[in-house]
Amino acid sequence: DGRRLLGFAGNDYLGLAAHPALREALLDAARRWGVGATAAHLLGGHRAPHAELEAALADWTGREAALLFATGYMANIGVLDALLSRGDICVQDRLNHASLLDGARLCGAVLRRYPHADADAAARRLTLRPGTAALLASDGVFSMDGDVAPLRALAAQARAAQATLLIDDAHGLGVSGPRGAGSVAAAGLDAGDVPVLIGTLGKALGTQGAFVAGPRALIEALAQFARAHVYSTAPPPAVAAATLAALHLARQGEDLRARLAARIAQLRAGAAALGLRLLPSQTPIQPLLLGAARTALAWSHALEQAGLYVPAIRPPTVPVGQARLRIVLSAAHGAEHVARLLDALAALRARADAAADPAIATP
């Protein structure tokens, strides 16, 4: 409605979405390549910037090869559909992203979900019958909780069960690990441990799209058999060029990651001092658990009145009784921005404590 709000909602963790280098790369490439890719990858839509980006993503993540998809949602649908057939087993964390769950449902695999972050429970569901395949799939960093999957334990269990491990690192890439290579690299795991790595480009890289990285034979097979890749128009070459610029910044972005870490520490210390319950997360996703959906809505509304955009996340996105504010931090935030958020939260906390306003009272 024409008002400017300070945002704590987007997944632009490194502050690259509006970075001058990305704008320039996009404009330059648009002048050269035009806007649309005009066709699917296999029918002439695959241009030099796509090929360059795939090679750079493989190199960054320490994989042999990578394949682009138009979105992360389609990457997960496409990869699961290509790897699993009816009757194969797909074991997933209960809090996995919707696109992983939908991918398993659409391909007709037997979907078995395990309690959040419980690698032993995952192992119990990985029983293989002869002639079937088993795939274990987890988010690297969970999108609504901000916690990191027990990646080393999952890798060990997948190996023991001769199952394939797929990690969707949409929220870890660029943010954690050496040179920002993600939560899998941060856990000390390599391509042998996690043969199928999914990454999205619309979060820390600040652009749009997704990729799967892994052994060359797998990537070549996916290029032929992942229908979401084969039968969909390639993303604009200019977006691939802008993503390449983002990747260079993210790779060398230790200063950005240090800034982000400082904001995370500032928010957590400030919230603790206010007695507010942030979930135990060390990532830029810092959820404030409020319980009832109407409480979360009331807090979000009150913050908006104070000039801050922090959306309420409600069921069915999160379990009933676990509505929350999903506070997301970015290297683009300054200390003064986090201080403004903490001031507004302090005022709300005081109102809730005084019970002057039952709508915002926390349980």
**Catalytic residue set:** 143, 171, 203
Q: Who's near 54: CB < 8 A, 6+ residues apart?
A: 65, 66, 67, 68, 211
Q: Using the minimum distance from each CB to ligand PLP, give the nearer residue, 97 or 337.
A: 97
- Contact pattern for ligand PLP over residues 192 through 221, marking x by CB under 6 A: --------x-x-------x-----------
Is residue 154 helix, strand or coil? helix
* 71 makes contact with ligand PLP (CB under 6 A): yes
Q: Using the minimum distance from each CB to ligand PLP, give the nearer residue, 92 or 99.
A: 99
**Using CB under 6 A, which residues numbered 95 to 124 contact ligand PLP?**
97, 99
Q: Which of the ranges 71-79, 233-241, 256-264, 287-295 carries the binding residues for ligand PLP, by CB under 6 A?
A: 71-79
Peptide bond connecting 316 to the previous residue in cis, omega within 30 degrees of 0: yes
User: Residue 132 CB, nearest distance to ligand PLP (Å)?
Assistant: 25
Report the alpha-carbon distance of residue 189 to residue 173 in Å, rounded.
14
* 234 makes contact with ligand PLP (CB under 6 A): no
Q: Using the minimum distance from each CB to ligand PLP, give the nearer residue, 137 or 296.
A: 137
Count of CB atoms situated within 10 Å of the CB of 134: 22
Q: Which of the ranges 117-125, 166-174, 182-190, 298-306 carries the binding residues for ligand PLP, by CB under 6 A?
A: 166-174
Q: Using the minimum distance from each CB to ligand PLP, give the nearer residue, 97 or 314.
A: 97
* 171 makes contact with ligand PLP (CB under 6 A): yes
CB-neighbour burial class of residue 221 (10 A; exposed 0-12, middle 13-18, buried 19+)? middle
Q: Which of 281, 293, 274 is nearest to 329 (CA)?
A: 281
Selected from 61, 92, 138, 143, the binder of ligand PLP by CB under 6 A is 143
Report the alpha-carbon distance of residue 48 to residue 50 in Å, rounded.
5
* 296 makes contact with ligand PLP (CB under 6 A): no
Report the alpha-carbon distance of residue 319 to residue 357 in Å, rounded.
25
CA atoms within 13 A of residue 146's CA, in its CB half-sphere: 21
Binding site for ligand PLP (CB under 6 A): 71-73, 76, 97, 99, 139, 143, 168, 170-171, 200, 202, 210
